[in-house]
Amino acid sequence: MTPGNGRLAALFHRGADDASLALAKWLGRPAALLVQRLDTLPIEEAAAIMGSSEALICGCAMRIDGAIGDLLLLASDDDAGLSLADTLLERPAGTSTGWGDLERSAVIETANIVGCAYLNAICAALGPAGAAGILPSPPVFLRDFPEAVMGAVLMEQPVLSEIVLLARTEFRIDGTPITCSLVFLPDAAGLAALMPSAVDPGAGT
Amino acid sequence: MLRTFVGSCVGLVLHNRHHRAAGLAHVMLPSSNGRGSPPGKYADTAVAETLRLVREAVGEPTLSVTAKLVGGAAMFAFQSGLPIGEQNVLAIEKILLDFGIPITGRLCGGRHGRRLTVDVVTGVVTVETAGQGTEILA
């Protein structure tokens, strides 16, 4: 965990805990999400956080309306994504070799379950500021260059906000780590609720 | 060679064939709204700044250039209204017109990101679209 706002870290750990429970319940197996790193970054630096590799990444994105919007992205490299699909579909490792309808559907449903549990928990922990809850869009699957994905994700941010908040989260299913990242970008109101110092010039950085 | 990746962002290439000089801006937003820094990030400041840098590198304050545009995709199906990528392209096209800079190649829109590589000497832009193959803007 990077240094910084302890309250923010506590909120995201709570989100990860609830998402772990939801994922484990859905899979019927032990599952956990571990928040590895929280960053508040200028938009142009955040664009490179998924790397600039020429290899494509895969993932699911959800538009989030409500108390803390704005967008949630579950992303990984292709191998990890296909491993996740195998795990979700209870297939032997290595069965999935490409992104067919079944594999896409599995990760889309996972993004839906995990993302909603994650953000609902954060809203609940915020008290009145999160009372409006969240209204997520259906996840969309994407497979693209990392920088292109992150650039497009960040451009979904309201132009008013120059700061983005990225929470990177690892999945562990049946004790096996699958390196995925759960990237959350709050809108300006969400950022104010989550991290007042980031949007209040008088409160410092 | 100059290289970048773009999704809804736009790669703006300015090139002068005679002097074998080129500049590349990675434009993220259509308007700086008065911020302007870094200038390459916004359409309304990127054209002037890239042109200034190319002219400065060549040492000709009135150097003419041509432009190529790549990117401006709408990568998420849940986007509504005029996607930010299209806003970026429209803003850059308008400013290039104001500057009298002709657009000699463009590969914009769609739903996928692109990797572009600019050959500074020839001005040729090679564009690889994720999962879709490679195209050349000569």
- Residue with the larger pLDDT of the pair A162 and B98: B98
Contact A148 B38 (CB under 8 A): no
Which domains can be identified in chain B, with CATH numbers? 2-137 (3.30.1330.200)
Contacts of B38 in chain A (CB under 8 A): 44
Mean pLDDT of chain B: 91
Contact A148 B85 (CB under 8 A): no
Residue A75's domain spans which residues? 6-203
- Kindly report, residue by residue over A68-86, the tens digit of the pLDDT: 877 888 888 888 889 888 8
Task: Give the whole-angstrom CA distance, residue A59 versus residue A48.
Answer: 16
ipTM: 0.76
% of chain A exceeding 70 in pLDDT: 81
Whether residue A116 contacts residue A134, with contact meaning beta carbons closer than 8 Å, is answered with yes
Residue in A142, A162, A185 to test binding to B, most B beta-carbons within 10 Å = A142
User: In the structure, what pLDDT confidence band is assigned to residue A138 with cuts at 50, 70 and 90?
Assistant: confident
Low-confidence ranges of chain B (pLDDT < 50): none
Number of domains composing chain A: 1
Beta bridge partners of A16: none
Q: What are residue A117's phi and psi, to 5 degrees? A: -65, -40
Helix (H) or strand (E) holding A41: strand A31-42
Task: Give the whole-angstrom CA distance, residue B24 versus residue B12.
Answer: 6
In a domain, A109, yes or no: yes
Instruction: Compute CA A24 distance to the chain's CA centroid, rounded to the nearest angstrom.
Output: 17
Residue A192 has pLDDT above 60, yes or no: yes
3-state secondary structure chain B: CEEEEECCCEEEEEEECCCCEEEEEEECECCCCCCCCCHHHEHHHHHHHHHHHHHHHHCCCCCCCEEEEEECCCCCCCCCCCCHHHHHHHHHHHHHHHHCCCEEEEEECCCCCEEEEECCCCCCEEEEECCCEEEEEC
Contact B73 A148 (CB under 8 A): yes
Whether residue B10 contacts residue B50, with contact meaning beta carbons closer than 8 Å, is answered with no
What SS3 class is residue A53? coil
Task: Give the whole-angstrom CA distance, residue A169 versus residue A172.
Answer: 10
CATH number (domain holding residue A167) = 3.40.1550.10
Q: Which residues contact A75 (CB under 8 A, 6 or more apart)?
A: A50, A57, A58, A59, A60, A146, A149, A180, A181, A183
The letter for the amino acid at A175 is G
Task: Give the whole-angstrom CA distance, residue A61 versus residue B75.
Answer: 10
In a domain, A39, yes or no: yes
- Kindly report, residue by residue over B15-40, the tens digit of the pLDDT: 999 999 999 999 988 888 777 678 88
In a domain, A1, yes or no: no
Given B9, B22, B96, B127, which residue is catalytic? B9
- Answer yes or no: pTM beyond 0.80: no
% of chain A exceeding 90 in pLDDT: 9
- Residue with the larger pLDDT of the pair A198 and A152: A152
Residue A4 has pLDDT above 80, yes or no: no
Task: Tell me what pLDDT residue A157 has.
Answer: 60
Whether residue A60 contacts residue A74, with contact meaning beta carbons closer than 8 Å, is answered with yes
In a domain, A182, yes or no: yes
Whether residue A194 contacts residue A11, with contact meaning beta carbons closer than 8 Å, is answered with yes
- Kindly report, residue by residue over A166-182, the tens digit of the pLDDT: 777 788 888 778 877 77
User: In the structure, what pLDDT confidence band is assigned to residue A205 with cuts at 50, 70 and 90?
Assistant: very low
- Kindly report, residue by residue over A26-54, the tens digit of the pLDDT: 888 899 988 888 887 766 676 566 665 67
Angle at A108 between CA A22 and CA B10, to 5 degrees: 130
- Say whether B9 is catalytic: yes
Instruction: Compute CA B54 distance to the chain's CA centroid, rounded to the nearest angstrom.
Output: 14
Task: Tell me what pLDDT residue A178 has.
Answer: 83
Residues of chain B that touch chain A, judged by Cβ-Cβ distance less than 8 Å: 4-9, 28-29, 31, 33, 38, 41, 73, 75-79, 84-85, 112-115, 130-131
User: In the structure, what pLDDT confidence band is assigned to residue A200 with cuts at 50, 70 and 90?
Assistant: very low
**DSSP structural state of residue A55:** S
Task: Tell me what pLDDT residue A161 has.
Answer: 56
In a domain, A52, yes or no: yes
Contact B113 A152 (CB under 8 A): yes
Closest of B47, B130, B68 to residue A152, by C-alpha:
B130
In a domain, A113, yes or no: yes
Task: Tell me what pLDDT residue A72 has.
Answer: 85
Contact A144 B6 (CB under 8 A): no
> What strands, in cross-sheet order, belong to the sheet with B125-129?
B2-6, B114-118, B125-129, B133-137
Instruction: Report CA Rg, chain B.
Output: 14
Task: Tell me what pLDDT residue A49 has.
Answer: 67
Task: Tell me what pLDDT residue A43 has.
Answer: 60
Task: Tell me what pLDDT residue A118 has.
Answer: 85
